[in-house]
Structure 1
Amino acid sequence: MWNAIVNVMTKMFDALHNLIIALGVPKHAEGVSYVLAIILFTAIIRLLILPLNIKSTKSNAKMQEIQPEMKKLQAKYANDPQKLQLETSKLMKENNVSMFGGCLPALLPLPILFALYGVFRNITATPGADTSFLFIPDIFAYPKGIGFVSIILAILAALSTYIPSLLLSKSMPQQEGGMNMSTMNIVMSGMMGFMSLQFQPILIIYWITGGIIQLIQTYFLNYLPAVKKKKIEEEKAAQAKIQKAKKSTPKTKKR
């Protein structure tokens, strides 16, 4: 099953690489052509899972809306875990909320990363071809020790993991346990940076590209709507405060 997935992705990637060559990128400049192919490949994958991201955003928004009801249930059935689980599931079903709906889009890039590991392991550069890209001498070379290139790529991989997660957390209301989420983001980013020290540069380029696309999606799907919603709520609160002040102001009697 895994080999079949790798084979399909290999054919897909080869087709994209051939397309890049057909568009005019010199065939001997394999570093550039393969990087362009991986950027195009990542964009296609992210486009395919965009509906899941939109669904995840809606699910997370609904989850935030029912938090007060969930807290009431937690207080009401504090001594009855089985009843609490039953009522919580019922509440989520009534509001069309999935516990795992928000996690799937975030987890999907990882198996794709490991499948690409198998894809690139089988790719051999054309003898004499230029496989460099920017400051990377060879995009297919496995790291030999921890050098300048490895450190820079590890930092970029960690940042491309952390920044979208940070933006997502800022778009969500502050709740108890928020620090745990922040810590989890840091740990996940650190793990990705550490793992990238063992990966081929082209794999890390895939991850960084995906992180940039995820950052853009998070900004428009999560952060921007959250900012607009917060602004509307603040305006309503300000209007309510003005109305309350007007009502509480004593009227002067006419003589």
Structure 2
Amino acid sequence: MRLVASLALSTALLTGCATVANPDPRDPLESYNRGMTTFNEHVDTLLLRPVATAYREAVPAPVRTGVSNFFANVGDLWSFVNNVLQGRGEAAGNSFIRFNVNTFLGLGGVLDIASEMGIDRYRQDFGLTLGRWGVGTGPYLVLPLLGPSTVRDAFALPVDTQGNLLNHVDPLSARNSLYALRVVDLRSNLLRASSVLDSAALDKYSFMRDVFLQVRSQAGEANNPDEDEEDTNEGVLPEEPFGDASPRKKPGAARP
């Protein structure tokens, strides 16, 4: 971790002096963010993508689906807490029911029984909870290893970390193994999207920034307390803008 922090800091220092002509108003830190994006892409190329590719080739699809379901189920409990903090009764109830049904009937969440029962998923995090009560997103910010974020979400990250059930797993070796598997699972789910981006003639940085901010903005608008509950039940996490092994639902819709 010290080595990663040192490399990330070096990248930030080397790129922080560069200036960007006509920066996007949403992205005043663009020179730093582009440098950090380059650092993250190097880590991805050298480590994450090869491991995720090997994982996808070696592990059967049903097992990978079970792994994704397990981590999505863990997230449902934290979504329940944030839905409660946002005063969203129906969403909180669904999150609570989903977690219990999948934990006790779905082999700890490996099977997504709740979705088969038509119980919708309402994904939330503490950044969206802050937004629900009027805290602005602040500038776009690329975090070392974690990727796209905003200043608000970066400050909310320690709370999200503490709220994650994985953070309370003992012993430490088991916790770290679960975190590593989670990273590999997420990266594996994005391999196809990465291939599309790599083959497209576009500015990947601007594309990813715009997609992230648009999805996050839509989630914030959905959480606007001035909107009718019927129209605001869903908050969507932006961490997987191209799709997720655990689908999300809107009420009445078929379930990235």
TM > 0.5 fold call: no
TM range (shorter): under 0.3
Tell which structure's C-alpha radius of gyration is larger: 1
Normalising by structure 1, we get a TM-score of 0.28
Normalising by structure 2, we get a TM-score of 0.28
